[in-house]
C-alpha cells in the first residue's frame, strides 16, 4: 500500500508561520509521501509540490476548488491526507493517520447554536439536510482540525453531490458517504491565548492569534524549534 501524500490548501499571503510549524510537525511525526500545497506557494517552501489555483471566491469555495484540484491531479496519491495549515502533530503516528470524527452533527449543532451561528453553521445544517435526503438521517461530523484520510474518487463524488451548496462541509459529506466511521474525539482547535489547553494531546490546532500570542503557540514553537526539510535555509 502506498504511503499517502499530504494535501494542504494554502491561502494567499507571504508569511504563514502556522504552515511552517505544521510542516515541521508532519516531517517529525506523520508518515507521508509528498506534500502538496494547493492554491498559494510561500517563497520559503522547499521540496514541496504545488498545484496553483485561483482564489477568487469565499474561503469555503477556495478550499473546495483546492480539494477538487488535488483529487483530479494524476500525481497525487489515490488516498491522501487532507490537512489544514494549522494542524500540528504533537506526537509520533507510526501507524499513520486514523479516521477521526466529532460525533453526530446534531450534537455539533448544539455547540454552534450556543455561540453566534453564521455562515459556517448554515453550511453545516445544509450539508446535514442533504445527507438526510440521501438516507443518512443522523450523520457524523468530520469537521475536525486533524488530518482526514481521503480517497480521491470518493471525495470527487461527494463534491459533485454537494456542488450546489455554497458552504459545503466537504469532510462530512465525504466521510458519511464513504462510510468512514472512525473514532470520536473533541475538536483540538485552541481559540484563546490562555494557558489552559491539552498539552498531552496528539494533535493541536490554533487560530492565527492563539498561535502568535497565546500559550499554545509558544508550546508548539518550542516543540519544533529547528527547520525541517520543507524549508529553504535562511528564508522566513
Q: Is 22 part of a structural domain of the chain? A: yes
Number of domains in the chain: 1
Spans in the chain with pLDDT lower than 50: none
Is 149 within 8 Å of 4 (Cβ atoms)? Answer: yes
**pLDDT recorded at residue 116:** 67
Q: Is 229 part of a structural domain of the chain? A: no
181: containing domain: 5-223
pLDDT, tens digit, for every residue of 101-110?
999 999 999 8
For residue 173, which of 196, 189, 157 has the smallest C-alpha distance?
157
Phi and psi angles of residue 59, each rounded to the nearest 5 degrees, phi first: -60, -30
DSSP string across 204-236: EEE-HHHHHHSHHHHHHHHH--S--TTB-TT--
Pairing of strands 148-151, 79-82: antiparallel
Q: Is 43 part of a structural domain of the chain? A: yes
As given in the structure block, the three cell numbers for residue 131 are 445527507
Q: Is 232 part of a structural domain of the chain? A: no
**pLDDT recorded at residue 236:** 59
Is 106 within 8 Å of 185 (Cβ atoms)? Answer: no
Is 229 within 8 Å of 213 (Cβ atoms)? Answer: no
Cβ partners under 8 Å of residue 80, min gap 6: 4, 5, 6, 7, 36, 70, 149, 150, 152
- CATH number for 183: 3.90.550
Q: What angle do CA 134, 160, 97 make, to 5 degrees?
A: 85
Q: Is 217 part of a structural domain of the chain? A: yes
pTM score of the predicted model: 0.95
**pLDDT recorded at residue 13:** 78
Query: SS3 for 111?
Result: helix
Q: Is 233 part of a structural domain of the chain? A: no
For residue 222, which of 80, 9, 64, 21 has the smallest C-alpha distance?
21
Q: Is 24 part of a structural domain of the chain? A: yes
Q: Is 230 part of a structural domain of the chain? A: no
For residue 5, which of 28, 37, 29 has the smallest C-alpha distance?
37
Amino acid at each position: 500500500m502506498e504511503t499517502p501524500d499530504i494535501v494542504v490548501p494554502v491561502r494567499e499571503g507571504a508569511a504563514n508561520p502556522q504552515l511552517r510549524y505544521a510542516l515541521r510537525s508532519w516531517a517529525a511525526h506523520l508518515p507521508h509521501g509528498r506534500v502538496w500545497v494547493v492554491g498559494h506557494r510561500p517563497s520559503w517552501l522547499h521540496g514541496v509540490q504545488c498545484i496553483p489555483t485561483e482564489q477568487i471566491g469565499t474561503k469555503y469555495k477556495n478550499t473546495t476548488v483546492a480539494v477538487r484540484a488535488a483529487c483530479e491531479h494524476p500525481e497525487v496519491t489515490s488516498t491522501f491526507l487532507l490537512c489544514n495549515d494549522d494542524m500540528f502533530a504533537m506526537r509520533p503516528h507510526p501507524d499513520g493517520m486514523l479516521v477521526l470524527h466529532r460525533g453526530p452533527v446534531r450534537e455539533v449543532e448544539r455547540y454552534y447554536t450556543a455561540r453566534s451561528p453564521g455562515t459556517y453553521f448554515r453550511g453545516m445544517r445544509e450539508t446535514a439536510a442533504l445527507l438526510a435526503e440521501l438516507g443518512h438521517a443522523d450523520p457524523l461530523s468530520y469537521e475536525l482540525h486533524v488530518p482526514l484520510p481521503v480517497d480521491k474518487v470518493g471525495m470527487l463524488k461527494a463534491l459533485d453531490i454537494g456542488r450546489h451548496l455554497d458552504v459545503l462541509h466537504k469532510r462530512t459529506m465525504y466521510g458519511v458517504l464513504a462510510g468512514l466511521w472512525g473514532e470520536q474525539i473533541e475538536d483540538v482547535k485552541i481559540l484563546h491565548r490562555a494557558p489552559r489547553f491539552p498539552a498531552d494531546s496528539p494533535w493541536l490546532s490554533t487560530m492565527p492569534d492563539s498561535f502568535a500570542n497565546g500559550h499554545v503557540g509558544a508550546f508548539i514553537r518550542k516543540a519544533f524549534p529547528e527547520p525541517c526539510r520543507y524549508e529553504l535555509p535562511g528564508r522566513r
